[in-house]
Structure 1
């Protein structure tokens, strides 16, 4: 996923709001899917907005976190790949900013549905993890890959991540998504630097056999890196990226093994979130139709 998200608690609070009456038009036509104060979330409507989201991604992944482009691509200050035209791009706008809408984008998520991925040769994450058997075990489910999520530094707050989740929930309801998946990233290219967090995940957060996924052959790195009795659970959780902690709170599980991504200078783990296993309080909060507008 190569994600940078706020260091915050993703549990719902009374100050957040969902838009009532979500329907087909609101998703397809790019109407607002959620609002919290001056933040509004919706899908990209045009190429200018997608390009602006790619610029936001570049600022975070390349300028801030040190991802590396090929020399011939370095002049293009956008993070773009072959999957972008296939995906829906979920965007958070700061409506208090002046200027054209595409210059108000402060956060983004990339969404790739199973039927689109299948027609185009697979999901992005299949370059790192074996998904074929997972998908085959659940023929009645619709899979959605979440990726490329990031938020500009000055907007890394609970409000922004809740706005993104409002949009995600509207999207999965509209498309009847059964499973959310994707890669989540730890900074750096040395798995041992995350030994305590990885060992904790390997022992306490692994997928069960029905949802198990393994890193691809040749790229697999073990996550079981130290004796489990030496792991301090509180320290292990504290060392995890905010996005990983947020996924775990809503009931996500982690696949077998991690993968080094040298282009983005990350170590990636695979996240599986069956929608039916997401905690009831999150379903009620993000999926409800109550009109709870924030000031």
Structure 2
């Protein structure tokens, strides 16, 4: 479940090339495990009153879980369990093994968590018994094909409605990039979610994604048998432009950075979404974005 923001941009698709120019654009533990990145929680980026950093305490992780509940279960159509209703937190067993990236509005009281992303490295996934995304997609096959690569899962992303803007998404990506560099991550992956489970209503977006960034064989990942909804290919010209503008900003961001969209979708009835798998080799990210997200002079951390 990944729905970081709703800011819309007007992409320049390139004349006669409805998908070819996508890569040239850019615009979720109560205790911490030993050896985590940046244990002092330094600020990784700042724009005006917003700052991005990792959660420093169990209290901040709980704040992220409360934000996730507010967005996924109250604003959207996810179905909470009895415990989730009582605690008003989106919490699962994987949270303990993840780092939690936070966007904080420092102008709101002692600071309010207004955006979050959940980061799970491959070594932490081994302790957790696997990646969360592996419940829908054949992630183990992907990892096995690349034994020398370091993988990291991105998930549970969300942003408070009034903060869904370009700058919030940029802060999240700046934090992700700092984390990737610190841990020498080679490959990012995760589910990107389209709101809704009506495949007919989503057919245009799914067809566009089936054509926009098909993976080469080495990065191709299927959904588990019985859950897979193969993506058709289609959507060109003006229809593609309109459909692209309706895609969640997170999905468009992955495409702009060089991500591949897997050949299948999976309907997630609990969260009320239809998920596609995105695989983003770090080597695919263009120099302009590496420079931009690595340039702390643009968004000073202090």
TM-score computed with the length of structure 2 as normaliser: 0.87
Query: Displacement, 1:136?
Result: 1.3
Matched, 1:51 2:62: yes
Q: State the 1:283 CA deviation.
A: 0.7
Alpha-carbon distance, 1:71 to partner: 3.5
Contact 1:3 1:147 in 2 (8 A): no
How many aligned residue pairs are there? 281
2:247 equivalent in structure 1: 240
| Separation (CA, whole Å) in 2 of partners of 1:187 and 1:256 | 19
Q: Is the 8 A contact 1:196 1:231 kept in 2?
A: no
Deviations, residues 170-216 of structure 1 (Å, cap 9, x unaligned): 00000000000000100111222111111121123111111000111
Residue of 155, 160, 174 corresponding to 1:147: 155
1:7 maps to which residue? 7
- Give the whole-Å Cα distance in 2 for the aligned partners of 1:136 and 1:207: 17
1:227–1:249 distance in 2 versus 1, CA, 3 Å: closer
1:29-87 Cα distance to aligned partner (Å, 9 max, x none): 21111111111111001100000110011110011002101245422200001111110
Query: Residue 36 of structure 1 corresponds to which residue in structure 2?
Result: 47
Other-structure match for 1:266: 273
**What residue ranges of structure 1 are gaps of 5+ in the alignment?**
14-23
Identify the match of residue 288 of structure 1 among 292, 295, 300.
295
Q: Any conservation in 2 of the 1:66–1:265 contact (CA below 8 Å)?
A: yes
Using the alignment, how far apart are the partners of 2:129 and 2:37 within structure 1? 29
Once residues 151 and 284 of structure 1 are traced to their aligned partners in structure 2, the CA distance between those partners, rounded to angstroms, is 25
The Cα shift of 1:228 comes to 5.4
The alpha carbon displacement at 1:121 in A equals 1.1
Distance across 1 between alignment mates of 2:296 and 2:136: 37
Correspondences of 1:144-183 after superposition (within 5 Å): 144-183=152-191
Contact 1:12–1:285, Cα closer than 8 Å, also in 2: no
Task: Give the equivalent residue in structure 2 for 1:197.
Answer: 205
Q: TM (normalized to structure 1)?
A: 0.89
Alpha-carbon distance change, 182 to 227 in structure 1, aligned in 2, over 3 angstroms = closer
**How far 1:233 moved relative to its partner?**
1.8
